[in-house]
């Protein structure tokens, strides 16, 4: 097994409404992307990291750490991931750990668990959490409740997601990078008939999405240092 990490970091962060894409917002004088790369590189199994970035945003990030390379990102998250996967495959890596640039608070234990599970068998593995809130399906007007959806067996997918690279590339190509259902790597693998394993994640592993998430992420990052 030769494991590389692929980090999609080519989004525009439209929901954050910040001046620059959210992965470049600084927390404790470091861009969020730096915290994410550092979190991933705590796993000794990760030999190299391929970061998919928008070429116009590349100057926003002056110094890339050791063992980190950039590839250009794509129109969709899936396309950005695919660019990284192809470069990793070209360099002889057998497995990839895909992790969102926007999740800088990844706990080490979660990272190590998903690497172990994802490289153990050919179904791969993803970090996920059992849904904890009561779920409501709304009426078409989005104003009133139509029904309560059972939480039984429902999980929220996070990243990292770990798969053998060749079947993952094939699965993404089969589904198509523009497919609206291709929102994570597991969905492509499921589409191709695999049943990826669920690995228990952490509520701290939030994806920075809206402005209010910054405060929480600052808190968790600070907590980790202290």
| Binding positions for ligand CTP, rule: CB under 6 A | 8-15, 23, 52, 73-77, 80, 100-102, 207, 209
Residue 83 Cβ vs ligand CTP, minimum distance, rounded to whole Å:
9
| Residue 40 · residue 60 · CB < 8 Å | no
The nearer residue to ligand CTP, 165 or 177, going by C-beta atoms, is: 177
Residue 186 Cβ vs ligand CTP, minimum distance, rounded to whole Å:
14
| Residue 36 · residue 101 · CB < 8 Å | yes
Q: How many CA atoms lie within 13 A of 221 on its CB side?
A: 24
The nearer residue to ligand CTP, 113 or 184, going by C-beta atoms, is: 184
The nearer residue to ligand CTP, 70 or 119, going by C-beta atoms, is: 70
Residue 191 Cβ vs ligand CTP, minimum distance, rounded to whole Å:
19
The nearer residue to ligand CTP, 113 or 185, going by C-beta atoms, is: 185
The nearer residue to ligand CTP, 37 or 189, going by C-beta atoms, is: 37
According to DSSP, residue 215 is labeled H
Residue 189 Cβ vs ligand CTP, minimum distance, rounded to whole Å:
18
Residue 156 Cβ vs ligand CTP, minimum distance, rounded to whole Å:
14
Instruction: Give dist(CA 5, CA 176) in Å, integer.
Output: 22
| Residue 96 · residue 79 · CB < 8 Å | no
Instruction: Give dist(CA 126, CA 111) in Å, integer.
Output: 10
**DSSP labels, 166-211:** HHHHHHHHHH-TT-TT-SSHHHHHHHTT--PEEEE--TT-----ST
Distances in Å between the alpha carbon of 150 and those of 30, 146, 155, 208?
41, 13, 12, 27
Residue 147 Cβ vs ligand CTP, minimum distance, rounded to whole Å:
28
The nearer residue to ligand CTP, 15 or 136, going by C-beta atoms, is: 15
Instruction: Give dist(CA 86, CA 9) in Å, integer.
Output: 16
């Amino acid at each position: 097994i030769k494991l590389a990490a692929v980090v999609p970091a080519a989004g525009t962060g439209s929901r954050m409404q910040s001046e620059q894409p959210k992965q470049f917002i600084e927390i404790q004088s470091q861009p969020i992307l730096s915290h994410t790369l550092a979190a991933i590189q705590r796993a000794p199994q990760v030999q190299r990291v391929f970061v998919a970035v928008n070429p116009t945003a590349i100057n926003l990030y002056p110094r890339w750490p050791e063992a980190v390379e950039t590839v250009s990102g794509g129109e969709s998250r899936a396309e950005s991931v695919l660019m990284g996967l192809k470069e990793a495959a070209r360099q002889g890596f057998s497995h990839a750990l895909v992790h969102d640039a926007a999740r800088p608070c990844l706990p080490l234990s979660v990272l190590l668990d998903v690497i172990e599970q994802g490289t153990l068998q050919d179904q791969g593995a993803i970090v996920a959490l059992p849904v904890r809130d009561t779920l409501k399906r709304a009426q078409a007007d989005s104003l009133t409740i139509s029904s309560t959806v059972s939480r039984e067996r429902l999980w929220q997918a996070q990243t990292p997601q770990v798969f053998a690279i060749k079947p993952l590339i094939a699965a993404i190509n089969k589904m198509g990078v523009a497919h609206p259902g291709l929102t994570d790597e597991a969905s492509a693998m499921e589409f191709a008939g695999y049943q990826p394993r669920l690995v228990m994640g952490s509520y701290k592993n939030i994806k920075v999405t809206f402005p209010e998430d910054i405060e929480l992420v600052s808190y968790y990052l600070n907590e980790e240092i202290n």
